[in-house]
Amino acid sequence: MGVVVAMGRRRVLSVVAGVALVAGAVVGCSSPVKPSSSTAAPTASASLSPDPSASAAAVQAAVLAVYHRYWDAVVAAERGNPDPALFADNTKGALVEEKLAVATQYQKYGIVRQGAPSFANVTVEVQGDQATVLACVDNSKWIVPEATGAPPGVLPGGLHLELIGDAWFVTKYVDPPAGFAC
């Protein structure tokens, strides 16, 4: 079964190098690639590798990049920065408002969360223009120094992403399936 991936030129350019490395390592090259001395923008004929597994890997990499940008934005917001620009390239919908409301409260009360979560057992599933990323989110190093009690520790978490236009965006939280354990 083949995988068809529709991406805009901007996303294609961001993953072409990774796809070329993967395809070159897996398939090998039949002719040498000469570096271009031109600084002109690529033409519309630039495309992803016809290898479905390489195309799927590129899409998964793009989804994972947005997932990490989302978490970078959440970390910055929970340091008391309620700037909507943090989420502009990674999140859409009510989730943005929720995260900005938390950031506003943190700013109002002088709460500054330190550190950042870490992630393990990350899985990416893409079906058409929908994707889900599941991970074990370790909050033990992402703390509010003045808080009492232990941080929540490692928790299973999931995010739903959608391809909107030519870009992926986190749109909501999802509960990991019963079999997903940390």
Q: Is the pLDDT of residue 44 over 50?
A: no
Q: What's the rounded mean pLDDT across residues 140-148?
A: 90
The helix/strand/coil state of 128 is coil
Q: How far apart are CA 158 and CA 84, in angstroms?
A: 22
25 CB-near residues (< 8 Å, 6+ apart): none
What pTM was estimated for this model as a whole? Answer: 0.70
Q: What is the average pLDDT value for the chain, to the nearest integer?
A: 77
Q: Is the pLDDT of residue 21 over 90?
A: no
Q: How far apart are CA 108 and CA 82, in angstroms?
A: 10
Structure tokens, 167: 């870009």
Q: What percent of the chain has pLDDT over 70?
A: 70
CATH numbers and ranges of domains, the chain: 9-29+48-174 (3.10.450.50)
Nearest to 122 by CA among 163, 45, 68: 68
Over the stretch 24-36, which tens digit does the pLDDT of each residue have?
A: 333 333 333 333 3
